[in-house]
Amino acid sequence: MTVPEIIPVAHEPDYRTSTIGRFSGGQFLASITYASPDGFAMGDGWEEQQRLFVVLHTFDHDGRHRESDIWCAGTWAEQMKRPYDERSVVARAEARLADLLAGLAEREYCDIAIRPFRLTVDGVVFGLITECHAEDEDGEHDWAELYPDQLGFSAPWNGEYDT
């Protein structure tokens, strides 16, 4: 089954899609996620490459990507230096996300439906990207992957995802 033009994303409170929904300007998808630059290979110094991003993607009412606010709160190495501090990387990320969400007029958390999009910020790929296979591949199906969150959407295209 081919990837649909508009991909549903189900709202799941208290889980990976808890901060998605609609607002007066359209739809939004927000998250806090660790990511590394494209081409990163695990090895010495990985803690400096693993960065925590606060992401807010906005879409029009028809699911077209409008803009993204992507902010790096810091690295895994910084987080480990003060993991429980009110100024930790995670605490800064949570505060930034709360501010971004507060800025969305008439915000409601609910299911959304968006079109694939892609952008790269600081060497990290962000977006909902289609992954298509040739018809002759062994049982592989087409899907869409939310990067860098690593949420995969596929048939029956009901908004549920795999991690």
Tens place of pLDDT per residue across the chain (163 aa):
688 999 999 999 999 999 999 999 999 999 999 998 877 677 777 788 789 999 999 999 999 999 999 999 998 888 888 888 888 999 999 999 999 999 999 999 999 999 999 999 999 999 999 988 665 455 567 899 999 999 999 999 999 999 8
Containing H/E element for 154?
strand 151-154
C-alpha neighbours within 13 Å on the C-beta side of residue 1: 10
Amino acid at 76: W
Amino acid at 130: T
Cis before 37? omega within 30 = no
